[in-house]
């Protein structure tokens, strides 16, 4: 099985899994990178997994469905091009012989979902859309800080070895902000240097892992005193964990 990050637009990744014959893709905002990869590798597209309704995640769905006959799966409570199988917490999808559990992760959008495979070649795999980024999280367009906190907490509880496949190459910007929150975090400084080198070589910084994100991502570290103190320095009204996350998100928006 092969895991590919297909670049799209300026900073999107369309994730593709294939076994040399069949493929699935996640959040194809643009059909062309997918069609090119299918032709290049001689693949038949079997499934399209969608995490949320934003155009840069669904823009290529209709073209790909009509060109390949692939089955489409997406969130139950969002506007996704029909026809598709609508999914919510506890549902499961099987494609390429892999089983994906659906996790509700509202916050970025109201009905955002993630796909979790407990065993992909010996380790778990997570397609999290725009909920969790390496070093950051999605903007709160439709949800609340409390919802995003609950969603990120659900993802943080996954096994540490889980590979985190985010859909944007936002890592360097996120880590610059994370260093402002925790300037003395040595794991963060080391990871930032690694990611700078990867991007200089035109390589993706992804996938990350849950274990790594727990060390360096301030949005997963809202219980840490260093993160809470930084959030309160930005917004003196910050009190509980949800308000810490809200303060961090507002700070990041202005950063």
pLDDT in tens, 88-117: 999 999 999 999 999 999 999 999 999 999
57 is catalytic: yes
Q: What distances in angstroms separate CA 16 from CA 23, 102, 210, one per listed residue?
A: 7, 18, 20
| 112 among known catalytic residues | no
Residue 206 has pLDDT above 90, yes or no: yes
**pLDDT of 2 strictly over 90:** yes
Catalytic entry in 18, 27, 53, 108: 108
Distance of CA 39 to the CA centre of its chain: 26
151 and 137 Cβ atoms separated by less than 8 Å = no
- What would the pLDDT profile of 53-84 be if each residue is shown by its tens digit? 999 999 999 999 999 999 999 999 999 999 99
Neighbours of 181 (CB within 10 A): 24
User: Structure tokens of 156?
Assistant: 């943080």
The pairs formed by 34-38 with CB atoms below 8 angstroms and a separation of 24 or more are 34/6, 34/60, 34/64, 35/63, 35/64, 35/67, 37/4, 37/6, 38/68
Query: Residue 99: what pLDDT?
Result: 97
Q: Is the pLDDT of residue 31 over 90?
A: yes
Annotation says 52 is catalytic: yes
- What is the reported pLDDT for 32? 98
Q: Is 18 a catalytic residue?
A: no
The verdict on whether 56 is a catalytic residue reads yes
Q: Which residues contact 184 (CB under 8 A, 6 or more apart)?
A: 226
Question: What token pair was written down for 198?
Answer: 């990867």
Tell me which of 52, 53, 104, 112 is the catalytic residue. 52
Catalytic: 168? yes
Q: Inform me whether the pLDDT recorded for 239 exceeds 90.
A: no
Task: Give me the pLDDT at residue 197, please.
Answer: 98
What length is written for the chain?
255
β-pairing, 85-87 vs 12-18, is unpaired
Give just the sign of the alpha carbon dihedral 208, 209, 212, 217. Answer: positive
Query: Which segments of 171-240 does DSSP mark as H helices, in order?
Result: 171-181, 186-200, 210-216, 225-234
Chain-centre distance for alpha carbon 224: 23
Q: What would the pLDDT profile of 222-234 be if each residue is shown by its tens digit?
A: 999 999 999 999 9
Q: What is the mean pLDDT of the chain?
A: 97
CA separation (Å) from 209 to 7, 134, 200, 220? 20, 8, 21, 12
Cα–Cα distance measured from residue 193 to residue 198, given in angstroms and rounded to the nearest whole number:
9
The sign of the CA dihedral 233, 238, 240, 241 is negative
Catalytic site residue from 18, 54, 104, 112:
54
pLDDT in tens, 142-199: 999 999 999 999 999 999 999 999 999 999 999 999 999 999 999 999 999 999 999 9
Segment 32-36 long-range contacts (CB within 8 Å, at least 24 positions apart): 32/60, 33/6, 33/7, 33/8, 34/6, 34/60, 34/64, 35/63, 35/64, 35/67
- Per the listing, tokens 């997963």 go with 220
Neighbours of 174 (CB within 10 A): 25
């Amino acid at each position: 099985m092969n895991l590919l990050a297909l670049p799209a637009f300026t900073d999107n990744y369309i994730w593709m899994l294939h076994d040399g014959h069949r493929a699935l893709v996640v959040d194809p905002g643009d059909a062309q990178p997918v069609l090119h990869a299918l032709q290049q590798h001689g693949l038949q597209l079997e499934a399209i997994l969608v995490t949320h309704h934003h155009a840069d995640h669904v823009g290529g769905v209709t073209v790909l469905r009509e060109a390949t006959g692939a089955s489409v799966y997406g969130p139950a409570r969002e506007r996704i091009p029909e026809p598709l199988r609508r999914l919510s917490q506890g549902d499961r999808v099987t494609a390429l012989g892999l089983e994906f559990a659906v996790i509700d992760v509202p916050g970025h959008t109201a009905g955002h979902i993630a796909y979790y495979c407990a065993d992909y070649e010996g380790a778990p795999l997570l397609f999290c859309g725009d909920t969790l980024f390496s070093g950051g999280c999605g903007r709160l367009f439709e949800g609340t800080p409390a919802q995003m906190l609950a969603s990120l907490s659900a993802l943080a509880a996954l096994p540490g070895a889980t590979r985190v496949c985010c859909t944007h190459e936002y890592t360097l910007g996120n880590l610059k902000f994370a260093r402002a929150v925790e300037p003395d975090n040595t794991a963060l400084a080391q990871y930032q240097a690694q990611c700078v080198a990867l991007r200089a070589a035109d390589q993706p910084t992804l996938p990350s892992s849950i274990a790594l994100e727990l060390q360096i991502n301030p949005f997963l570290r809202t219980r840490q005193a260093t993160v809470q103190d930084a959030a309160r320095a930005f917004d003196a009204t910050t009190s509980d964990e949800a308000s810490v996350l809200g303060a961090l998100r507002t700070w990041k928006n202005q950063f």
